[in-house]
């Protein structure tokens, strides 16, 4: 099965959700394509969960519309529920039930016949690597394992779209990369995946496209690469073995290279801010002609962190208090 | 299989599984009522005037009180599991699946009713060992179970409504505790209202527990008092309809 590239999975139009006088979502317009891993990236309180809960029929919008695969989430909620899987932000498991009992419960809630359910349960357990722990109460599982039980439950009915709200929140590094791998496998099977995150690294590594959200509003939209490019600030740093005799001349020569916006030369290094992507060979050639001995060249894109600050005016998270 | 019964059955099984895994809750739930009967029965037995109870056997008098008290406790606790489900986010998972919203509620009714019925049978069994034989026999036991289930359903609905109205579970437990004690002590559970001071008697007669207890007590002590029984069953059905309507309104607002 492959996703139909270009076909719309979710359409969000003029979405508003108010709690009293505060607008958790404040006029959001978004289109999510089938087959993509789409991320809503924003700090705590940005309105990600609220948006996700509206898409999954758990909350009603104050105004605006959301359609999932053509079905309105309010008027046609039951049709939407059949097509989606949802993994909430909390560790939403029943600690008294075993992994198998969770899957059996959800098989019944999605009205699978026993004949269909049995192989699906095996398959889901295998996908999340829990096949050997099926009969243990989930209360004894680690955070990462609980999250994998939840993901397995969300996959049983073979949903077209899987929603994950901060899937790796509070997980250790290893469990986090395990969850990321599961999500990549799902994408390969053609599933559309929507995740909420406030981890820049997660958004960067996992998502085909991102919506940067802050205070209930869309601030930027695009692939991680596009967003970083969009800042237009690739930096090339040239390190020299020793300082050149005529730094001023080197500066002017580099400045003349097409696509270079700004150059500063300082002793044994030159820093070039680029206006657009530029080949390195012209830069290297100018250095050589100016009598410089090249030690190293670094080419850096702006990070997603810089993108985030650029569009929202602040960092995504306060630094963790140690 | 009919999808409604598939989902309701699965949810009901989950409540029983949880109960079976919570050993302490299970043991207390099943044996506490028995203990009440033995404790209250023994401590009041010699200290009071038999005429106040309409029977010489205080255990026989107490049985009806313990039956209704037990259903009261189980029914009012009927919303607790959903409070936890809401706090853990599990409820959202249930609600994101294509189930009829009512199946969650109905599964609670089925679970609490079955649990209450089991508790009632344990109480009546214990009473039997103390030579308390219901005057109405097996049919009377059926009638007691019916009264118990009807009371339990209304109370469960009420508890579910409260569970969604009150956001913290500590607040919920405080409120339940606050409601339960006067409902039991200002009723005919422990003593006949005839022996109460006038003002207390007036309050006790306004307490629906009193009427329910009296109906069950008649079935155990006296026989078929049809008028009383029909009125109580009618009133309980009205109570159920009222509670279910009120609570579904609260639930629809909370989860709809
Ligand atoms: N049930 C609620 N009642 C009142 N305010 C809420 C409620 N849920 C969320 N909010 C507020 O809406 C805003 C967005 O919350 P949320 O969607 O949970 O953000 P995120 O998931 O991005 O952290 C926050 O300011 C939050 O306090
Ligand atoms: Mg959130």
Contact residues on chain B for A102, CB-CB shorter than 8 A: none
Which pLDDT score is estimated for B223? 93
- How many angstroms does the Cα of residue A43 sit away from the middle of ligand 2? 9
Quote the tokens at residue A199: 């981890």
Which pLDDT score is estimated for A277? 73
Other C-beta atoms lying within 10 Å of the C-beta of residue A273: 14
pLDDT in tens, chain A (322 residues): 444 557 999 999 999 999 999 999 999 999 999 999 999 999 999 999 999 999 999 999 999 999 999 999 999 999 999 999 999 998 899 999 999 999 999 999 999 999 999 999 999 888 888 888 899 999 999 999 999 999 999 999 999 999 999 999 988 999 899 999 999 999 999 999 999 999 999 999 999 999 999 999 999 999 998 898 877 778 888 999 988 888 888 999 898 888 888 888 888 888 888 887 777 888 898 888 888 888 999 888 788 888 888 888 888 876 544 3
For chain B, give every domain's residue range: 3-255
Mean pLDDT (whole number) for B10-17? 97
Query: Hey, whose CA ends up nearest to atom 5 of ligand 1?
Result: A19
Query: Hey, whose CA ends up nearest to atom 10 of ligand 1?
Result: A24
3-state helix, strand, coil in chain B (%, to 5): 85, 0, 15
Size of interface A-B (CB pairs under 8 A): 76
Those residues with Cβ within 8 angstroms of residue B214's Cβ, 6 or more apart along the chain or in another chain = B64, B188, B228, B232
Other C-beta atoms lying within 10 Å of the C-beta of residue A4: 12
Which ipTM was obtained for this model?
A: 0.89
Report CB contact under 8 Å: B10, A91. Answer: no
3-state secondary structure of A91: coil
Other C-beta atoms lying within 10 Å of the C-beta of residue A264: 12
Establish if B16 touches chain A: CB-CB under 8 angstroms: no
Residue located via tokens 């059949």: A82
Establish if B24 touches chain A: CB-CB under 8 angstroms: no
Which pLDDT score is estimated for B41? 76
Sign, CA dihedral B76-B78-B79-B85, equals positive
- How many angstroms does the Cα of residue A213 sit away from the middle of ligand 2? 12
Which pLDDT score is estimated for A320? 45
Q: Does residue B231 register a pLDDT over 80?
A: yes
Quote the tokens at residue B143: 């009638």
Q: Measure CB to CB from residue A81 to each of B13, B90, B98 and give the nearest one.
A: B98
Contact residues on chain A for B89, CB-CB shorter than 8 A: 88-92
Residue B205 CA: distances (Å) to CA of A31, B55, B199, B211, B234:
63, 21, 10, 7, 17
Q: Does residue B46 register a pLDDT over 70?
A: no
Taking each helix axis from N to C terminus, what angle separates A99-109 and A143-155, rounded to the nearest 10 degrees? Answer: 30
Contact residues on chain B for A113, CB-CB shorter than 8 A: 1
Task: Give the integer Cα–Cα distance in Å for A226 and A29.
Answer: 19
Report CB contact under 8 Å: A93, B90. Answer: yes
Beta carbons of A66 and A11 less than 8 angstroms apart: yes
Beta carbons of A200 and A316 less than 8 angstroms apart: yes
Report CB contact under 8 Å: B1, A137. Answer: no
Report CB contact under 8 Å: A81, B96. Answer: yes
Report whether residue A21 contacts ligand 1, using a CB cutoff of 6 Å. Answer: no
Which pLDDT score is estimated for B43? 72
Report CB contact under 8 Å: A81, B21. Answer: no
Q: Does residue B53 register a pLDDT over 70?
A: no
Contact residues on chain B for A150, CB-CB shorter than 8 A: 93
Which pLDDT score is estimated for A280? 85
Which pLDDT score is estimated for B42? 77
Q: What is the pLDDT of residues B102-125, one digit of tens each?
A: 999 999 999 999 999 999 999 999
Establish if B90 touches chain A: CB-CB under 8 angstroms: yes
List the single best residue of A50, A78, A105, A114 to mutate versus B (max B Cβ within 10 A). A105
Which pLDDT score is estimated for B52? 57
Across all residues in chain B, what is the average pLDDT?
Answer: 90
Q: Does residue B51 register a pLDDT over 60?
A: no
């Amino acid at each position: 099965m492959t996703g139909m590239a270009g076909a719309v999975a979710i359409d969000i139009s003029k979405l508003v959700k108010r709690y009293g006088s505060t607008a958790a979502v404040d006029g959001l317009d978004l289109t999510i394509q089938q087959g993509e891993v789409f991320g809503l990236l924003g700090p705590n309180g940005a309105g990600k969960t609220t948006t996700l809960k509206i898409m999954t029929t758990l909350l009603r919008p104050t105004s605006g519309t959301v359609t999932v695969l053509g079905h309105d989430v309010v008027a046609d909620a039951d049709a939407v529920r059949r097509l989606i899987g949802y993994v909430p932000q909390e560790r939403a498991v029943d600690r008294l039930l075993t992994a198998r009992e969770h899957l059996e419960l959800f098989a019944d809630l999605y009205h699978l016949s026993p004949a269909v359910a049995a192989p699906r349960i095996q398959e889901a357990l295998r996908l999340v690597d829990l096949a050997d722990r099926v009969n243990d109460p989930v209360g004894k599982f680690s955070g990462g394992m609980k999250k994998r039980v939840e993901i397995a439950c969300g996959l049983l009915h073979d949903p077209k779209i899987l929603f994950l709200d901060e899937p790796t929140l509070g997980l250790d590094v290893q469990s986090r990369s395990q969850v990321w791998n599961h999500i990549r496998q799902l994408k390969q099977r053609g599933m559309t995946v929507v995740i909420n995150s406030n981890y820049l690294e997660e958004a960067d590594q996992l998502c085909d496209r991102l919506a940067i959200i802050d205070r209930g509003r869309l601030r930027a939209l695009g692939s991680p690469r596009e967003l970083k490019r969009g800042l237009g600030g690739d930096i090339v740093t040239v390190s020299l073995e020793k300082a050149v005799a005529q730094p001023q001349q080197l500066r002017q020569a580099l400045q003349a290279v097409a696509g270079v916006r700004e150059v500063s030369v300082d002793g044994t290094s030159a820093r070039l801010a680029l206006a657009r992507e530029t080949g390195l060979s012209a830069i290297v050639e100018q250095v050589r002609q100016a009598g410089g001995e090249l030690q190293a060249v670094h080419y850096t894109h702006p990070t997603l962190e810089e993108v985030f600050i650029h569009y929202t005016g602040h960092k995504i998270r306060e630094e963790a208090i140690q | 299989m009919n999808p409604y019964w598939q989902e309701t059955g699965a949810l009901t099984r989950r409540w029983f599984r949880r109960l079976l895994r919570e050993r302490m809750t299970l043991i207390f739930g099943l044996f506490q009522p028995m203990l009440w009967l033995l404790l209250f029965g023994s401590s009041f037995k010699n200290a009071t005037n038999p005429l106040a109870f309409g029977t010489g056997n205080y255990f026989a008098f107490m049985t009806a009180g313990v039956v209704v008290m037990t259903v009261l406790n189980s029914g009012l606790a009927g919303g607790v599991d959903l409070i936890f489900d809401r706090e853990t986010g599990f409820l959202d998972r249930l609600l994101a699946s294509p189930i009829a919203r009512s199946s969650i509620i109905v599964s609670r009714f089925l679970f609490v009713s079955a649990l209450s019925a089991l508790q009632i049978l344990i109480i009546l069994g214990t009473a039997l060992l103390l030579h308390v034989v219901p005057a109405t026999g097996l049919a009377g036991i059926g009638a007691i179970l019916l009264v118990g289930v009807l009371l339990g359903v209304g109370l469960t609905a009420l508890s579910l409504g409260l569970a969604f109205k009150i956001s913290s579970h500590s607040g919920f437990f405080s409120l339940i505790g606050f409601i339960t004690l006067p409902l039991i002590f200002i009723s005919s559970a422990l003593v006949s209202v005839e022996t109460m001071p006038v003002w207390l008697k007036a309050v006790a007669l306004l307490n629906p527990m009193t009427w329910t207890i009296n109906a069950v007590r008649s079935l155990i002590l006296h026989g078929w008092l049809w008028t009383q029984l029909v009125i109580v069953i009618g009133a309980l059905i009205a109570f159920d309809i009222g509670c279910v309507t009120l609570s579904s309104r609260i639930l629809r607002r909370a989860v709809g």
